[in-house]
Structure 1
Amino acid sequence: MRLTKILIGEFIVLIASVFIFRSLWTMLDQYFGYNYLPEFLILGIVLTVIGLIVLNHGVKCEIEKAAKPKSASP
């Protein structure tokens, strides 16, 4: 059930990020034009990699927690 919640949460974040990305891209085009596209592309790639690392760490922790056998109480 937790994995399902994680997947649903990631899907919602993905859809929301499309709207945010599109809005920010349009806004940046109005202010900066096309002069800074390479810099914004590099920044976007770096932020994407950082975000994926954080998400994968969270999922890995949840999977490891679920896979741990419950210790018997004395």
Structure 2
Amino acid sequence: MMMMMLMMMGMLLLLLLLLVVLLVLLLRVYQLMMMVVRMVMHDAMMVMAAMVLHILIHIFLLQIHVLFVFCTL
């Protein structure tokens, strides 16, 4: 029983670690994109930022939802 619990905890920790790494990578890509967009055009920058933030928030919410489902199983 304890082993199962420990394995579950390990899995959750791994998932969280992966999530953090993904977020860091996304932020790096986001920064690069922002630099490029700033060089190309100014007005489109705000639209791009809004879109990227929207997508990021959706991914994050989805991850939390998945984690909760795992917890309740």
Taking structure 1 as the reference length, the TM-score comes to 0.69
**Percent identical across equivalent pairs?**
6
Taking structure 2 as the reference length, the TM-score comes to 0.70
- Please list, as runs of the form range in 1=range in 2, the aligned pairs for 1:16-31 lying within 5 A after superposition: 16-31=25-40
Q: Unaligned regions of 5+ residues in structure 2, if any?
A: 1-9
Per-residue CA distance 1:15-69 (angstroms, 9 max, x = gap): 212221111111222222x12233123212321221122111211121112xxxx
Instruction: Specify which structure has the higher proportion of helix.
Output: 2
RMSD value over aligned CA atoms?
Answer: 1.6
Q: Unaligned regions of 5+ residues in structure 1, if any?
A: 66-74
Q: Post-superposition, which runs of at least 4 consecutive aligned residues in structure 1 deviate over 6 A?
A: none
| Higher CA-based Rg | 1
Using CA pairs below 8 Å that are at least 6 residues apart, which structure has the higher relative contact order?
Answer: 1
CA distance in 1, matches of 2:61, 2:24: 19
